[in-house]
Amino acid sequence: MTVARQAKGPSWAGGCTLVLGAAGMLGRELVHLLHKRAEESGGRVVSWDLADLDIRDRSAVYGTIGNLRPGVVVNAAAYTDVDGCETDVSGAMAVNAQGPGHLAQACDPVGAMLVHFGTDFVFDGSLERAYRPDDVANPLSVYGRSKWEGEQAIRAASCRHLIVRSSWMFGPRGRNFVEAILAQAGAAKPLRVVNDQVGSPTLAADLADAVIRLLDAGEQGTFHFANSGQCSWFEFAGEILEQAGMDRDVEPITSEQLHRPARRPAYSALDTSKYAEATGTRPVCWQDALRRYLNGRGCLP
């Protein structure tokens, strides 16, 4: 089975890999793993942020990819301010929808594989089971719609592509829920967390590793990856505080009480069975991923 997977995949590791959005939380993890792979295979990694290549600029994208001719383009650039997208619709669409389309169209002539990251926010939360990659999308917010349109733009192009949807991501060197809870708890601020949204937390390092595994397996198409298990944001906050040894009370509230501009799906846990079948590995549980993250930042005794 392993031989068959390798036979259908591109020989990507020994060539040039371009990582966009390299300064972000996920981008940094990807660059770290890809550099390690490049050292083993003799390939090279070019890592750029939005300032280096503005994916909203179609001409710049075509010119750069045409000159560089990478074997793989990994797009970790995104407009991730969910509430901000509600008032900056054109900005969200330019980065999350049009930008990926530009990349896909530019990848095709040079034969590059495009790796792109999607979100659980493409779903409306109406299912009573974890979402599979082929479930119907029905985004509730501008952010979710912009990310869905980005996926569709990639599919409309003829380039080889790998779209990996994830959810509730946390990791070092970036704003995330774990750091927000720890900061509020440390400052003795009241902790009020929604208890009516359920999903799957994901450690950025594990998502980056999952992408490498999918590339190694020669996979294409759409996959879901998140750490196993599911919880509400309220339960997530409680686990963060318990693992960090911080004795603080958390008040459960409803999404309506939070008064956020963007609607969130009430249930958006992701089914990762397609990923497990393709790679032969299963994601570790989110509690263990959280422990590794906190241990790495020095929060645990």
Locus of tokens 């969200």: 92
Encoded tokens for 210:
């999952």
SS3 of the chain: CHHHHHHHCCCCCCCEEEEECCCCHHHHHHHHHHHHHHHHHCCEEEEECCCCCCCCCHHHHHHHHHHHCCCEEEECCCCCCHHHHHHCHHHHHHHHHHHHHHHHHHHHHHCCEEEEEEEHHHCCCCCCCCECCCCCCCCCCHHHHHHHHHHHHHHHCCCCEEEEEECCEECCCCCCHHHHHHHHHHCCCCCEEECCCEECCEEHHHHHHHHHHHHHCCCCEEEECCCECCEEHHHHHHHHHHHCCCCCCCEEECHHHHCCCCCCCCECCECCHHHHHHHCCCCCEHHHHHHHHHHHCCCCC
| Catalytic residue selected from 143, 267, 275, 293 | 143
Residue 298, CA distances (Å) to 153, 179, 289 in order: 42, 13, 14
- Asked if 62 is an active-site residue, the reply is no
Closest CA to 71 of 17, 145, 1: 17
Indicate which residues carry an active-site annotation: 143
